[in-house]
């Protein structure tokens, strides 16, 4: 065994640049560019002058919209943390979407105490999109901020997320989502690293390159007129990705506000996490390649270079890396036999180093989230992300491709699935 390992090491060290590329083509195609983009953007961010220092228009009214189903336990904390904002919202509208717990009663109390302005309670569940649309129709703010019930906010979050609207071309701004229960277990610690890398840092890259294609429904701000022009949210899962794509198609700019921090709880068990990711990936595939497939069709009216880039980004670095990876592994073993395992380990070590560097950069650009303590978990995260989550994604893509499972998701009521586009 040790002999094999040292033979392998000797083999790897004796490779030339060109032959290394032949061995590690997967990493070179699907991983290195992703990291590289990150490094470049952070470098660019640190030298870029702050172009967002436009004067903030305080006369803008801000309405917060919250939709929840059976959220009697979390709604009050969420509302309280909104009321604690340095720039408090002018209006809070909450919709209890067919709740069967005591949420409607809780909302009445909150309204009586003056903590929220309007509460609507439907008797049957309509789904998050419809609930938000109802609230949107009642909203009077110039900017509407959609938040999830289980979110709490940094005191400056609201102020930061509405600042970019000083630019009239801006249609929507994404908040920075941080994991609140990172210390709960290994799984939540891994997700905390993942959020930091993919959202806190990843979205800064997207923002820099005008590729912000997902304003998360957990914490996102929208210009109300823009939102109403595109008809609000559409039926079905992934409504946040969908509306972002539609806003972009309509010509609005979408940005990221890294300092608008929102804390959320992530799944604490593997089964819940897997279910969540299945849903996300299925919805992404269904929206990007079915509903918004025209973005990649050069002959359609929706086609543009800026939309093509994030579509390709997803196709290559999410779908591609998941689909090709098993092929790469098989190819390794077929071509190199026992040496394949050494090569794989070598590749993994290289990616760990890259992950570590990326994490440090992300922690560096989001100092407020205080995430440096997560550094020791990088090794585990790298393996978890590289093997477990990659296969979860692959399974989700295959499932969606073959059986269109996104149309059976319980996130959306079945009456809606039956008729939605």
Partner 1 sequence: MTAATAPNLEPVSHAAPGRRVLVAEDSPTTHEILKLLLTQRGHHVDIATDGEQALEALRHNHYDVALLDFHLPKMDGIRVATTVRSELPAHSRPRLIAITADLPGLLAHTADCENFDLVMPKPLDIYRIGQLIEEQAELGDEKQPEPLKPGRQSAPSLASAAIPAAVRQPFAIEGLGYEFLLWPEDIDVRRLSARAIQATLGDPRFDAILITQPVSVEALASLWERKALFALPIVDLTGTLGRMADFDGADLSGTEAERLGRLIRDFQDRRARLHRDLILSDKLSEKLLGRMFVANRPLTAAYDPRYRHLAAYDIPLGRRLATREAEALCEHGLLKREFFERFHICPSCDSYRFHVREECSQCRSSNLSEEQYLHHFRCAFQGPESDFRRGDELVCPKCHHELTHFGFDYDRPGTMVVCGSCGHAASEPSVGFVCLDCGVHTDSEVVPTRDVFSYQLTDQGVSFAEKGGAVLGYARQALRFADLPLELVVALNAAAKRYNEDKTPFALVNILYRKESEVVAEFGARRFAQARDLFIENLRNALAKPNTVVKGQSHDFALLEAIGPEQAQVDFDHLKERASRTLSVDLGAMFQAFGPEDFS
Query: What residues make contact with partner 1 under the rule CB under 8 A?
Result: 98, 104, 108, 111-112, 117-127, 129-131, 133-134, 137-138, 231-236, 239, 413, 415-416, 418-421
> CB of 88: closest distance to partner 1 in angstroms?
18
For partner 1, the closer CB: 133 or 406? 133
For partner 1, the closer CB: 84 or 112? 112
Q: How far apart are CA 158 and CA 183, in angstroms?
A: 26
Based on DSSP, count helices (H) and strands (E) in the chain, helices before strands.
19, 8
3-state SS track over 274-335: HHHHHHHHHHHHHHHHHHCHHHHCCCCCCCCHHHHHHHHHHHHHHHHHHHHHHHHHHHHHHH
For partner 1, the closer CB: 53 or 421? 421
> CB of 95: closest distance to partner 1 in angstroms?
9
Cβ distance 249 to 227 under 8 Å? no
> CB of 164: closest distance to partner 1 in angstroms?
26
For partner 1, the closer CB: 63 or 81? 63
For partner 1, the closer CB: 64 or 130? 130
For partner 1, the closer CB: 86 or 140? 140
Cβ distance 369 to 342 under 8 Å? no
> CB of 138: closest distance to partner 1 in angstroms?
6
> CB of 296: closest distance to partner 1 in angstroms?
24
> CB of 413: closest distance to partner 1 in angstroms?
8
Handedness of CA 326, 331, 337, 338 (dihedral sign): negative
Angle between helices 390-403 and 270-285 (to 10 degrees): 50
For partner 1, the closer CB: 109 or 185? 109
Q: What angle do CA 252, 255, 253 make, to 5 degrees?
A: 15
> CB of 158: closest distance to partner 1 in angstroms?
23
Q: How far apart are CA 393 and CA 353, in angstroms?
A: 23
For partner 1, the closer CB: 229 or 275? 229
3-state SS track over 221-234: EEEHHHHHHCCCCC
**217 vs 59, 129, 202, 240, CA distance in Å?**
25, 10, 17, 5
Q: Of the candidates 62, 91, 55, which has an alpha carbon nearest to the alpha carbon of residue 167?
A: 55
Looking at residue 70, the DSSP 8-state letter turns out to be S
> CB of 94: closest distance to partner 1 in angstroms?
10
């Amino acid at each position: 065994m040790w002999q094999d390992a040292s033979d392998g090491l000797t083999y790897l060290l004796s490779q030339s640049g060109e032959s290394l590329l032949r061995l590690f083509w997967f990493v070179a195609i699907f991983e290195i560019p992703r990291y590289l983009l990150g490094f470049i953007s952070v470098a660019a961010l640190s030298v870029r002058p702050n172009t967002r220092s436009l004067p903030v228009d305080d006369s803008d009214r801000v309405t917060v919209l919250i939709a929840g189903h059976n959220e009697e336990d979390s709604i009050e904390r969420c509302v309280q943390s909104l009321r604690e904002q340095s720039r408090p919202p002018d209006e809070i509208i909450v919709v209890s979407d067919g709740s069967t717990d005591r949420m409607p009663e809780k909302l009445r109390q909150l309204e009586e105490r003056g903590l929220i302005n309007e509460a609507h309670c439907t008797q049957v569940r309509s789904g998050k999109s419809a609930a938000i649309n109802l609230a949107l129709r009642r909203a009077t703010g110039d900017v509407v901020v959609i938040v999830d019930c289980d979110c709490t906010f940094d005191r400056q979050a609201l102020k930061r997320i509405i600042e970019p609207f000083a630019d009239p071309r801006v249609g929507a701004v994404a908040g920075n989502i941080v994991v609140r229960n990172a210390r709960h277990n290994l799984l939540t610690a891994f997700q905390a690293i993942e959020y930091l890398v993919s959202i806190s840092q990843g979205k800064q890259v997207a923002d820099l390159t005008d590729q912000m294609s997902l304003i998360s429904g957990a914490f996102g701000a929208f210009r109300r007129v823009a939102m109403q022009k595109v008809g609000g949210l559409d039926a079905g899962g992934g409504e946040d990705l969908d509306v972002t794509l539609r806003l972009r198609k309509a010509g609005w700019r979408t940005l990221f506000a890294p300092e608008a921090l929102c804390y959320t709880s992530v799944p604490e068990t593997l089964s819940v996490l897997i279910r969540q990711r299945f849903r996300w990936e299925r919805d992404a595939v269904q929206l990007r390649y079915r509903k918004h497939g025209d973005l990649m069709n050069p002959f359609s009216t929706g086609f543009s270079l800026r939309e093509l880039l994030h579509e390709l980004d997803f196709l290559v670095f999410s779908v591609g890396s998941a689909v090709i990876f098993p092929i790469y592994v098989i190819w390794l073993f077929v071509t190199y036999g026992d040496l394949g395992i050494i090569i794989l380990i070598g590749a993994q070590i290289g990616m760990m180093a890259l992950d570590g560097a990326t994490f440090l950069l992300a922690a560096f650009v989001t100092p407020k989230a205080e995430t440096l303590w997560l550094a020791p978990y990088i090794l585990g995260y790298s393996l978890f992300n590289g093997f477990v989550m990659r296969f979860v994604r692959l399974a989700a893509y295959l499932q969606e491709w073959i059986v269109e499972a996104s149309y059976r998701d319980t996130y959306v009521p079945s009456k809606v699935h039956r008729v939605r586009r």
